[in-house]
Amino acid sequence: MDHPPKQSCKLFAEGKCAYGQRCLRVHHHNLDPARRGDKAKGYEDYDVPNEPGKACSRCVQQLRPCDKEGRGGVDDPCSECRHFGGPGCKCVLAPKNTYNNVVWHLMINQPHFDHKLAAQRSRDEPIGRKLDKATGQSTGGNPQIPMPDKDVKPGWRGKTKEQLLAEDDLLPACVRELPRAYVVPPPVDENRKRKADFYKQLESSRSGPASAPAPMMIPPPPSSISELGRCVRATMDVVKNLVIYEYDTGAQITIPAQNPQTHPFKIARTNAPSAQNPAFPHPPPSF
């Protein structure tokens, strides 16, 4: 496929898209909320765990089973963090995030994969590896290594690395095949929503009719300089963005167009107009 797939409609997945057939995004069959009824045989009652505070952040993100609950501080990490968290790992229960939410976001962001989830990676495969398209090999990434012993409390107990490596995927295969059947939309993140709304507004104010270039307006002359007389002509230098005001006393001032009311100015010409040299040959503007 040469072109990126059309964006899938997230609101459709949530059952909230109001555009129906007219929606410009894809209403992908595998995101249809009706697919909740398509659970695999034997998994009719299964849902991806969705209770916050039951697993550590790292395990939630990586969709690993977590035994942090009931343990102590960061020096008493879950088995996953102990053996694969590396230096600096801070194992704490995720206060809000859930396996359900992580699966949801993975699902939404997999349009090129028909909104299925890729197979679980091996625990000892480095994180963040890049696929070299020329060779088809993954390279780079950070190896998943144990937490340093000094960061772990003496007498720490948990599963061994070998036990973890032998464990099954947290998710049943049918979930990776059709995640939408086993997840519900995550709660709306108010912070994120506020930001999204702000940018949406900004975008619509840019692309809407209000964004059409404003008609060229010559600002009114400074109002505080009655000794100059009556303003009879105002011309705009569009290139330099300057306005030149001419007065019936012959005075002429030049001011940046943005702030003629406040910008300091110099009077450039004071020779009085004459009949041969009228300041304003046509009816003066109504300043």
- Among residues 255, 280, 268, 277, the alpha carbon closest in space to that of 228 is found at 268
Which range, of 12-20, 120-128, 208-216, 237-245, touches Zn ion by CB under 5 A? 12-20
We find the least distance from the C-beta atom of residue 194 to Zn ion, in angstroms, to be: 22
* Residue 31 binds to Zn ion (criterion: CB under 5 A): no
* Residue 152 binds to Zn ion (criterion: CB under 5 A): no
Q: Which C-beta is closer to Zn ion: that of 49 or that of 256?
A: 49
Sheet with 252-256, side-by-side order of all strands: 231-237, 242-247, 252-256, 267-269
We find the least distance from the C-beta atom of residue 241 to Zn ion, in angstroms, to be: 44
* Residue 93 binds to Zn ion (criterion: CB under 5 A): no
Candidates 76, 80, 151, 246; binder of Zn ion (CB under 5 A) is: 80
Residues 46-75, mask of contacts with Zn ion (x by CB under 5 A)? ----------x-xx------x-x-------
Q: Which C-beta is closer to Zn ion: that of 64 or that of 233?
A: 64
Asked whether 230 and 248 are in contact (CB, 8 A), the reply is yes
Candidates 13, 31, 78, 106; binder of Zn ion (CB under 5 A) is: 78
Candidates 13, 31, 91, 108; binder of Zn ion (CB under 5 A) is: 91
* Residue 84 binds to Zn ion (criterion: CB under 5 A): no
Residues near Zn ion, by CB under 5 A: 9, 12, 17, 19, 23, 25, 56, 58-59, 66, 68, 78, 80-81, 91
